[in-house]
Amino acid sequence: MNIYLYMALAWALALLSSKIMKKIKLPNVTGYLIMGLIAGPYCLKLIPADVVEQLSFLPEMALGFIAFSIGAEFKLSYLKKVGKAPVVIAFCEAIGAVLAVDLALILTGNDIAFSLSLGAIAAATAPAATLMVVKQYKAKGPVTDTLLPVVAIDDAAALMCFGISVAIAKAITSHGGGSFLVTLGKPMLEIVEALIFGAVMGVIFRFLVKLFTGRGNRLAITIAMVFVCLGVADAVGFSSLLACMAMSAIFVNTSNESDIIFEQADRMTPPIFMMFFFLSGADLDISVLPSVGVVGVIYIIFRMVGKVLGTLFSAKISKAEPVVQKYLGFTLVPQAGVAIGLATTAMSVVPDHGKMIQTVVLCATVIYELIGPVITKLALKKAGEITAA
């Protein structure tokens, strides 16, 4: 079989899984992940490892469009209405997860530099699974309204928490005088670069949409602009998610045509998202699960505890609605690509523990990606934001 037949098979299996999930009342994204896991190179091998590797550009492309979609939630008229709550919650839930994992690991006798490096990764949340659940069930209400900007800001919050934690860990393991400031400054610079570049792209995007009025032309411009953000971010080394979010945030606040553009993108992207989650499932190596050990269990449990408590505390102090305080934290469980990328970076900080960090994060990703969408659905349903229909 060639690459086109493998892609057709992947879409067929993903579609089949959505029917099965509908019968057992679980989110489609869970079905895509499980079906990808079963069909992938670590189970039935219907989709070989080299094919997953060849299609590795699709997950990056999907994440670009997910970030583009989430950036639309930063409409100033909406942010004025919800106030400071999403920003406060995003940083507090990220810090809460980091501190919970750090303290749990240190108190159980683990090396401090190792604990800080692993705990730093706990802040990251995967927006893709959450967004898919919201879209599938057309969730509406205060929890959903707060959730979308929170997961958008979370990427920046996670990078900042990671930069600070890793800088401290590096200072503990290294005797270099300027290492702390250099390590701390790098992620901060990446955030600023991504936001500035995205903002410039948003201005260019607005100009091009005014210049070209045809629906087909505008869709081509949208795809091209997301690809430029992804390509430049990959070449320069800053966050493509932040760049795409910044671009769409500037565009949605400066263009009268934004609603039409985002509607077009929403109609075009579902097959890409479907393939993204299927391939994410195929890339999950469940053979690493037995090696997770006590450290992995601590990470998996205390990250969730930190997210929930951090959200509860920050929602209270920012005077968010009671339903937001109660349920929002449970929608922030999923963790995926960003965490794995941070784990790779952390390996250079504590090389003696690098393999352990990578294994724990990979195991946590498998578990979080499988249970996260289900927990998100249950939380939104309990909050009354998913109707019975």
Residue 349: pLDDT over 90: no
Predicted TM-score (pTM) of the model is: 0.72
Query: How distant is the alpha carbon of residue 303 from its chain centre?
Result: 15
**What is the pLDDT confidence band of residue 241, given thresholds at 50, 70 and 90?**
confident
Res. 389: pLDDT tops 60:
no
Burial annotation 158-197 (CB, 10 A radius, 16+ → b, else e): bbbbbbbbbbbbbbbbeeeeeebeebbebbeebbebbbeb
Please report the pLDDT score of residue 29 as a whole number. 79
| Of residues 40, 52, 42, 53, the one with CA closest to residue 13 | 40
Q: Give the residue carrying structure tokens 């929403």.
A: 266
Q: What pLDDT score does 360 carry?
A: 83
The enclosing H or E element of 87 equals helix 85-107
Residue 109: helix, strand or coil by DSSP? coil
The residues spanned by each domain of the chain are: 58-269+289-382
pLDDT one-digit tens code per residue, 25-80: 777 877 888 898 899 898 899 999 999 889 988 878 887 887 888 788 778 876 77
pLDDT at 178 over 60: no
Decide if 277 contacts 132 (C-beta within 8 A): yes
- Mean of pLDDT values over 156-181: 68
Distance separating alpha carbons of residues 377 and 294, to the nearest angstrom: 29
76 Cβ contact list (under 8 Å, min separation 6): 253
8 Å CB contact between 347 and 360: no
The pLDDT assigned to 187 comes to: 65
What is the chain's length?
A: 389
List, for residues 266-293, the tens digit of each pLDDT value.
Answer: 888 889 888 988 887 887 777 766 766 7
Q: Report the top-level CATH class of 58-269+289-382.
A: mainly alpha
Looking at per-residue pLDDT, the higher value among 193 and 8 belongs to 8
The DSSP code sequence of 318-368 is TT--HHHHHHGGGGG----HHHHHHHHHHTTTSGGGHHHHHHHHHHHHHHH
Most trustworthy range by pLDDT among 87-101, 156-170, 213-227:
213-227
Q: For residues 313 and 96, what is the distance between their CA atoms, to the nearest angstrom?
A: 9
CB atoms within 10 A of CB 113: 21
